[in-house]
Amino acid sequence: MKKSLHFMLVALLTVFTSAVSAGERIGDFALIDNQGTQHHMAWYDDQNAIVILPQAVGATDTEALAAFQDLEAKFAEQGVVFFLMNPGIQTDRDSVSADIAALGVDFPVLMDDAQLATEALGITRLDEAVVYDPKSFEMIYRGPVDADLAATVQGLLDGTADSLITVATDGASIEYTGPGTESVPSYVADVAPVIQENCANCHREGGIAPFAMDSKLAMQGWSPMIREVVMTKRMPPGQIDNKASHAMKNEMNLTDAEMQTLVRWVNAGSPLDGDSDPLSGLVWSDTKWTVAEQLGEPDMIVQIPPQAVPATGVVDYRDIPIDLGLTEDRWVRASEVAPDQKEVLHHIITTVIPPGGGEDPQTAFINAINSLPEERAAAIRAEMFTAIAAGESPDIDKIFQENPDIDVGALLGGGDPDLGSIAGYAPGNSVQFNKEGVGGLLKAGTTVSLQMHYTTSGKEVTDATEIGVWFYDEGVIPEERMSGGVGNAFTIAIPPQSKDHEMQLVTHVREEADLYSLMPHMHFRGKRMKFIAKYPDGSEEVLLSVPDYDFNWQLAHEFAEPYRVPAGTQIIAVGAFDNSTQNSANPDPSIEVNWGEQSWEEMFMGFYSWKNVDQGGGED
CB burial of residue 128 (10 Å; 0-12, 13-18, 19+): buried
Instruction: Count the helix, strand and coil residues of the chain and give each as a percent rounded to the nearest 5.
Output: 25, 30, 50
- Tell me the longest C-alpha to C-alpha distance in the chain: 91
Burial 439-461 (b: 16+ CB within 10 A, else e): bbbbbebbbbebebbbebeeeeb
Phi, psi of 134 (to 5 degrees): -75, -10
What burial class does residue 516 get, using C-beta atoms within 10 Å of its C-beta: 0-12 exposed, 13-18 middle, 19+ buried? buried
pLDDT of residue 592: 97
3-class secondary structure, 127 = coil
Q: What span, in angstroms and rounded, lies between the C-alpha atoms of 20 and 14?
A: 10
Rg (CA), the chain: 28
Q: Which of 51, 201, 229 is nearest to 123 (CA)?
A: 51
Residue 415 banded pLDDT, cuts 50, 70, 90: low
Judged by DSSP in three states, 220 sits in: helix
d(CA 140, CA 156): 9
The yes/no answer on whether domain 482-620 falls in CATH 2.60.120.230 is yes
The mean-pLDDT minimum among 152-166, 393-407, 548-562 falls in 393-407
- In angstroms, the Cα distances linking 425 to 338, 346, 514 are 9, 8, 24
Residues 508-524: pLDDT tens digits?
998 999 999 999 999 99
- pLDDT above 80 for 358: no
| H/E stretch holding 39 | strand 38-40
Pairing of strands 461-463, 307-309: antiparallel
The proportion of the chain whose per-residue pLDDT surpasses 70, expressed as a percent, equals 91
CA distance 388 to 403: 20
DSSP state letter for 429:
B
| Contact criterion met (CB below 8 Å) for 377 and 369 | yes
What is the Cα–Cα distance from 311 to 163, expressed in whole angstroms? 46
- Strands 513-521 and 557-565, by their bridges, are antiparallel
pLDDT at residue 456 in the model: 87
Mean pLDDT is lowest, of 6-20, 35-49, 305-319, for 6-20
Residue 119 scores a pLDDT above 90:
yes
- State how far the Cα of 62 lies from the Cα of 78, in Å rounded to an integer: 25
Whether the per-residue pLDDT at 140 is higher than 50: the answer is yes
Is 112:31 a contact under the CB 8 Å cutoff?
yes
Bridge-based pairing of strands 440-442 and 307-309 is: unpaired
Domain definitions of the chain by residue range: 2-166, 187-281, 286-358+414-481, 482-620
What's the rounded Cα separation, in Å, for the pair 110 and 123? 14
What's residue 404's pLDDT?
60
Is the predicted pLDDT of residue 619 greater than 50, yes or no? Answer: no
Kindly report, residue by residue over 368-404, the tens digit of the pLDDT: 777 777 888 888 888 876 776 676 767 777 787 677 6
Helix (H) or strand (E) holding 594: strand 593-594
Residue pair 272/220 in contact (Cβ under 8 Å)? The answer is yes
Find all residues with CB under 8 Å of 301, minimum gap 6, and list them: 466, 467, 468, 469
Q: Which residue has the higher pLDDT, 544 or 344?
A: 544
Mean pLDDT of 170-176: 96
Let me know if the fold of 286-358+414-481 is the same as that of 482-620: yes
What is the chain's mean pLDDT, rounded? 89
User: Closest Cα partner for 185 from 219, 211, 160?
Assistant: 219
Name the most confidently modeled range: 77-91, 285-299, 437-451, 595-609.
77-91
Task: Identify the top-confidence range among 185-199, 310-324, 350-364, 376-390.
Answer: 185-199
pLDDT of residue 340 exceeding 70: yes
For 154-219, the DSSP string reads HHHHHT---S-EE----SPBPPP-STTSSSPPPIIIIIHHHHHHHTTTTSSTTSSSSS---SHHHH
Residue 226 CA to residue 109 CA, distance in Å, equals 26
One DSSP character per residue, 44-56 reads GTTSSEEEEEE--
Average pLDDT for 480-487: 86
Q: Which residue has the higher pLDDT, 264 or 383?
A: 264
pLDDT at 315: 86
pTM over 0.85: no
pLDDT in tens, 186-217: 999 999 999 999 999 889 887 778 889 999 99
The CATH classification of domain 286-358+414-481, taken from the options 3.90.480.20, 2.102.10.10, 1.10.1660.10, 2.60.120.230: 2.60.120.230
Ranges assigned E (strand) in 399-525: 431-433, 440-442, 447-454, 461-463, 466-471, 483-488, 493-494, 501-509, 513-521
What's the CATH code, domain 2-166?
A: 3.40.30.10
Single out the residue of 83, 85, 88, 109 nearest to residue 98, CA to CA.
Answer: 109
211-215, 269-273, 400-404, 425-429: lowest mean pLDDT where? 400-404
Task: Name the pLDDT band for 19 (thresholds 50, 70, 90).
Answer: very low
Nearest Cα to Cα of residue 455 among 306, 304, 309, 307: 309
Question: What pLDDT, on a 0 to 100 scale, did the predictor assign at position 248?
Answer: 95
Pairing assessment for the beta strands 483-488 and 557-565 based on DSSP bridges: unpaired
Report the C-alpha gap between 431 and 416 in whole angstroms: 22
